């Protein structure tokens, strides 16, 4: 059968992606294949023996989950549990959530499931053409992670902005055009300037966070903190905890982690790259919410739906919580819920 050019491009892209996965190239890591990941026994102990709740798949395909970098450990834990129950082979690829969305919209490199660190990326970049709706399933908050050699210093929620503005420190953050943690760092600084009544606060801190301290995704900053290349970095609390780094807890008025402060967070905004080249979009402060979806063109839609259903189940959420991610009762956002919907609330 002769495929049209667009389809040949998509197939070639998909083939290259799977080849990279097989070779273990870049950030793509196989987390469950045949016998599963090394942590599988712990997942089985926590969530029951294989075959409980989710039935094994008939001749399961190899699935691909594209997820935010901060979801690496929680997603790995949940996928190990899924593999133990179903025998499915699952691989993951991580990227900043905006970059992940653009892999679909620009490269047509479509995964089976996509899980992002900001629910707003779905309506802003992926709906309605690529995704019909999405499930919110977790929350988080921004913190300041600290390199071990500075962990003993008396920096806390009352003076953190002074420490980060010190001329002798290097502050890390992620790229706001690629990663929600990057634009959330800027939102945190805007909110802090309001709370502390210091108009130049953001400018002072960003002076210690030049281009050399910016990485594609916030999870890339953790190793730089561990080795002392960076002194501080804006990351998610779950990421700092998973890396066993000391972190500075920010006030709830600026950490984007309090649902009751949504109106206050919305007073801050930043502009990032938009849906098309040369276009920008405005991102307003909001409580941090993670979301996932099965793309319309998922290569294995039936198996992908079973995987998404499991991730949103009690067992899937428990696995992610055990890996440090604060989960919430899933709810669906979109025009029409998928047929397999069994755990989410009605559309809102």
Helices 301-311 & 314-322 angle (0-180, nearest 10):
60
Q: Where are the beta strands (DSSP E) in the chain?
A: 28-32, 62-68, 89-95, 113-116, 133-139, 142-146, 171-174, 214-215, 232-236, 246-249, 269-273, 280-284, 289-293, 327-334
* Buried b / exposed e along 246-262 (16+ C-beta atoms within 10 A): bbbebeeebbbbbeebe
What pLDDT was estimated at residue 154? 87
Write out the DSSP string of 125-142: IITTTT-SEEEEEEE--E
How much is the average pLDDT of 65-78?
Answer: 97
> What pLDDT is stored for residue 156 in this prediction?
93
Judged against a pLDDT cut of 70, whether residue 42 lies above it is answered with no
The predicted-structure confidence for 303-334, as pLDDT tens digits, reads as follows 999 999 999 999 999 999 999 999 999 999 99
pLDDT in tens, 257-286: 999 999 999 999 999 999 888 899 999 999
Task: Please give the pLDDT value at position 80.
Answer: 96
| Residue 167, helix vs strand vs coil | coil
Domain boundaries, the chain: 5-140+288-334, 142-272
Strand partners for 133:
334
The reported pLDDT for the residue numbered 41 is: 30
pLDDT confidence tier of residue 53, bands split at 50, 70 and 90: very low
| pLDDT tens track for 222-254 | 999 999 999 999 999 999 999 999 999 999 999
CA–centroid distance for 242 within its chain: 14
| CATH class of the domain whose range is 142-272 | alpha beta
Q: What is the CATH number of domain 5-140+288-334?
A: 3.40.190.10
Which DSSP symbol is given to 123?
Answer: I
Domain 5-140+288-334 shares a fold with domain 142-272: yes
Q: Is the pTM of this model over 0.95?
A: no
């Amino acid at each position: 059968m002769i495929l049209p050019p667009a389809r040949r491009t998509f197939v070639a892209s998909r083939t290259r992606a799977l080849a990279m996965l097989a070779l273990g190239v870049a950030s793509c890591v196989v987390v469950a294949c045949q016998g599963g990941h090394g942590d599988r026994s712990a997942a089985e102990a926590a969530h029951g023996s294989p075959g409980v709740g989710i039935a094994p798949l008939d001749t399961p395909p190899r699935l691909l989950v594209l997820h935010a970098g901060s979801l690496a450990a929680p997603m790995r834990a949940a996928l190990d549990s899924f593999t133990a129950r179903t025998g499915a082979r699952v691989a993951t690829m991580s990227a900043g959530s905006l970059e992940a969305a653009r892999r679909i919209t620009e490269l047509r490199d479509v995964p089976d499931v996509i899980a992002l660190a900001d629910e707003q990326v779905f309506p802003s970049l992926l709906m309605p053409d690529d995704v019909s709706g999405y499930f919110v399933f977790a929350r988080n908050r921004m913190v300041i992670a600290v390199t071990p050699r500075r962990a003993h210093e008396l920096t806390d929620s009352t003076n953190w902005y002074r420490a980060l503005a010190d001329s002798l420190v290097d502050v890390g953050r992620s790229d706001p055009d690629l990663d929600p943690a990057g634009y959330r760092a800027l939102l945190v600084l805007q909110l802090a300037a309001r709370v502390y009544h210091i108009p130049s606060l953001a400018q002072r801190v960003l002076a210690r966070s030049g281009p050399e301290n910016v990485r594609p995704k916030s999870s890339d900053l953790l190793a730089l903190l561990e080795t002392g290349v960076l002194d501080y970095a804006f990351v998610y609390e779950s990421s700092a905890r998973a890396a066993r780094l000391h972190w500075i807890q920010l006030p709830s008025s600026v950490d984007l982690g309090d649902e009751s402060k949504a109106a206050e967070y919305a007073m801050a905004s930043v502009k990032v790259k938009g849906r098309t080249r040369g276009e920008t979009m405005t991102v307003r402060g909001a409580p941090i919410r993670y979301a996932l979806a099965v793309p319309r063109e998922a290569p294995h839609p039936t198996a992908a739906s079973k995987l998404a259903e499991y991730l949103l189940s009690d067992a899937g959420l428990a696995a992610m919580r055990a890996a440090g991610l604060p989960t919430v009762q899933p709810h669906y956002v979109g025009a029409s819920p998928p047929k397999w919907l069994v755990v989410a609330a009605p559309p809102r």
